[in-house]
Structure 1
Amino acid sequence: MSITSPATSSPAGAAAPLRAGRRRDTISAVFLGVLWLCLALASLFLLFVMIEIVRRGLARLDLQLLTAPPSRIRPENGGVRPAILGTVLVVGTTALLALPTGVGAAVYLEEYADRTRWWNRMIELNIQNLAAVPSVIFGILVLAFVVRAPLNIGAVALSGSIALALLILPVIIISTREALRAVPGEIRDGSLALGATRWQTVWRQLLPAAVPGIATGSILALSRAIGEAAPLILVGATTFVTFSPDGWLSRYTVMPVQIYTLVPQPDQASKDLAYGAILLLIVILVAMNALAIYLRNRFQRRW
């Protein structure tokens, strides 16, 4: 004879799990509503900021903004040409320093490194940690070892490029490793089975197949570098420059630093110039992100 528990046989006992489930559903719905509310508030704030930037910066987004240097005497006739050229020089040099180094380090760690060795595990741990380090720390590091002794090259464009290269290097390494891991293992095994060396497999099979992920991660990392100001201020990005940089060892400024200088100025013309520079910087960043999406989609269709 079976014995039924009074708690489970009574209507009150059967309704207890139902009430608990409804309470969990209510809490989940409230939490989801709070999340949507936070998202809506953040989106409204971002929309308001974008509308204000476009409204005030569109009038200054002209040829004069691109070709004229800034002016303290007549700021309404000024532009940000030195900052644009400085940004191109610094970010271009950053790409030359960071992309080959980052991709090469990722290939070594993913394809060649013995993960049972303690030093390889230490390198991987440090790369993961460096990706979360604040950007100003890299500026302090370059200030101590590059701008001053032992290298002592001074507050020049090359110092800023080194700081930004160190900043984005962990991001490039991590994104490249993820792109290599996403390549099907059959491609690697088939190449090795046909007699190709490990280097031939990496160069002719893995890297071409991983181009979408590598290109996307690299462009997004460079987009972050374009918008950085804190490390460059520490390593000598001049706040007010009326001349264009003429090389890696010259004084320079970049667009974020130029904007940082223009915003607190008391005259309205400087503020309008700052809004125009902000809008130009946003256009550049959107274009770079669009390029990353285009390259990813194009190479994914090919492979």
Structure 2
Amino acid sequence: MAVLSTPKSAVELASKGRPLKEHLFRVALLSSLAIALIFLGMLLIYVLEEGWPRLSPTLWENMPSIRRPETAGIQSGIFGTLWIIGLTALMALPTGILAAVYLEEYADRTRWYNKVIELNISNLAAVPSIVYGILGLGIIARWLQFGFTVMTGAITVSLLVLPIVIISAREAIRAVPPSIREGSLALGATQWQTIWRQVLPASIPGIATGSILALSRAIGEAAPFLMLGAATLVRFNPEGVWSSFTVLPLQIYNFISQSREEFHVLAAAAIVILLAILLLMNSVAIWLRNRYQKRW
């Protein structure tokens, strides 16, 4: 029996000219990465230098003030952000994961309504956040009469991050090898038992990483809250889901818009706190991915 092999001359002809293109492409990628890191480093250094004098416990212990910037803090913004992110996680994550399970494991992709759902999810992931703010203002705040409350902000941000959660969860579920499902079904497990005991545990790293990154995006959003009329100066912490609130991006916007230099220093310190929260969440996402990731 003859063994088929590729002639050496054919391989050389196929790879001729490829090293130069690969090197150029690699140089372009590394250059883009270096430029992004340089600008990010310059931004971090500038913010740290500007806000270092105000990085003290009074920053997160005191309430904001427009009269005494030397003693003003960002406590209400921190608590408002935690309220919004907590409620967003409770609403968006279960809904997004269950939707991903349905689309990957149960949905018949030949049905027209499933095609419409998938198309709309892809389109909604690219919609600007200001559009969700307009939606929240017109429907949730006014039509449903929820007002400018924590619940309104949380529902709006949940709609913002829901497509991202669905897409990331679908990719994580899709990465589980079909042999895992086939082996479970062959042993007599039902489809839901296979999903609950085999597929979801194996896809936890990808789902957790995508969910945390989606919530990280929600923390830095300011446009939806501006449309919802969230107050930029709140001197109390939210007491419930129907309470008024503010978030860190809005407080930073309010401080920067002031003319006095002390407020700019305060805004830089608040930016450092916001970046620290984002870096902490991203670090947790990386740790979860490396801790529970499986190689198939």
Superposition deviation, residue 36 in structure 1: 5.5
Q: Take 1:176 and 1:37, find their aligned partners in 2: how far apart are those partners?
A: 32
How many residues align? The count is 282
Please name the residue that 2:142 is paired with: 148
Pairwise CA distance, 1:236? 2.5
| Structure 1 alignment gaps of length 5 or more | 1-20
The letter for the 2-side match of 1:86 is G
- Aligned partner of 1:192 in structure 2 is 185
Q: For 2:184, what is the secondary structure of its paired residue? A: helix
Partner of 1:77, secondary structure, is coil
**How high is the TM-score relative to the length of structure 2?**
0.89
Alignment of 1:69 onto 2:68: no
What is the letter of the counterpart of residue 285 of structure 1? L
Could you list the per-position Cα deviations for residues 48-89 of structure 1 after superposition, in whole angstroms to 9, with x for gaps in the alignment?
211111112222221111110011221110100000000000
Structure 1 Cα separation of the partners of residues 179 and 35 of structure 2:
47
Question: What letter corresponds to residue 130 of structure 1 in structure 2?
Answer: L
Q: Which letter maps to 1:239? A: T
Report the counterpart of residue 262 of structure 2 in structure 1: 269
Is residue 52 from structure 1 mapped to residue 46 from structure 2 by the alignment?
yes
CA distance in 1 between counterparts of 2:53 and 2:227 reads 32
**Identity, % of aligned positions:** 54
Following the alignment from structure 1 to structure 2, what is the Cα–Cα distance between the partners of residues 38 and 284? Answer: 26
2:97 is the alignment partner of 1:98: no
| Structure 1 pair 77–105 and aligned structure 2 pair: CA distance change class (3 A) | same
Q: Which residue of 2 aligns with 1:241?
A: 234
For residue 203 of structure 2, the aligned residue among 195, 198, 210 is 210
Q: 1:121 to 1:293 in 2, by over 3 A?
A: same
* Structure-1 separation of matches of 2:109 and 2:39: 46
The separation in 2 between residues aligned to 1:233 and 1:46, in whole angstroms, is: 26
Q: Distance in 1 between matches of 2:24 and 2:198?
A: 50
**Which one-letter code corresponds to 1:147 in the other structure?**
A
Amino acid at match of 1:290: S
Q: Report the Cα distance in structure 1 between the residues aligned to 2:243 and 2:117, rounded to whole angstroms.
A: 34
Which of 169, 172, 178 in structure 1 is aligned with 2:162? 169
Question: Per the alignment, do residues 39 and 144 of structure 1 end up closer, same or farther by CA in structure 2, a change over 3 Å counting?
Answer: same
Call closer, same or farther: CA 1:80–1:188 in 2, change over 3 Å. Answer: same
What amino acid is aligned across from residue 108 of structure 1 in structure 2? Y
In the other structure, the counterpart of 2:176 is: 183
* Residue 110 (structure 2) pairs with residue 116 (structure 1): yes
Matched letter for residue 280 of structure 2: A
Provide the rounded CA distance (Å) in 1 between the counterparts of 2:263 and 2:270: 10
Deviations 1:144-193 (A, max 9, x none): 110011x1110111111011100100000001010001111111001111
Structure 2 match to 1:16 = none
Preserved contact between residue 99 and residue 172 of structure 1 (Cα < 8 Å): yes
Paired with 2:266 and 2:290, the residues of 1 have a C-alpha distance of: 36
Distance (whole Å) between structure 2 residues aligned to residue 212 and residue 30 of structure 1: 34
Shift of 1:265: 1.0
Bigger drift between 76-85 and 43-52 goes to 43-52
Moved more, 265-274 or 202-211: 265-274
Kept in 2, the 8 Å contact 1:160–1:236? The answer is no
Q: Which has the larger radius of gyration?
A: 1
- Once the two structures are overlaid, the 10-residue window that deviates more, 30-39 or 292-301, is 30-39
1:250 equivalent in structure 2: 243
The residue number in structure 2 matching 1:137 is 131
Unaligned runs of at least 5 residues, structure 2: 1-15
Q: Name 2:4's counterpart in structure 1.
A: none
What does 1:2-17 align with in structure 2 at a 5 Å threshold?
none
Distance 1:119 1:44, change over 3 A: same
Counterpart AA for 2:49 = R
Deviation at 1:43, TM superposition (A): 3.2
Distance of 2:171 and 2:268 partners within structure 1: 38
Cα displacement (A) at 1:216 = 0.2
Report the Cα distance in structure 2 between the residues aligned to 1:164 and 1:29, rounded to whole angstroms. Answer: 42
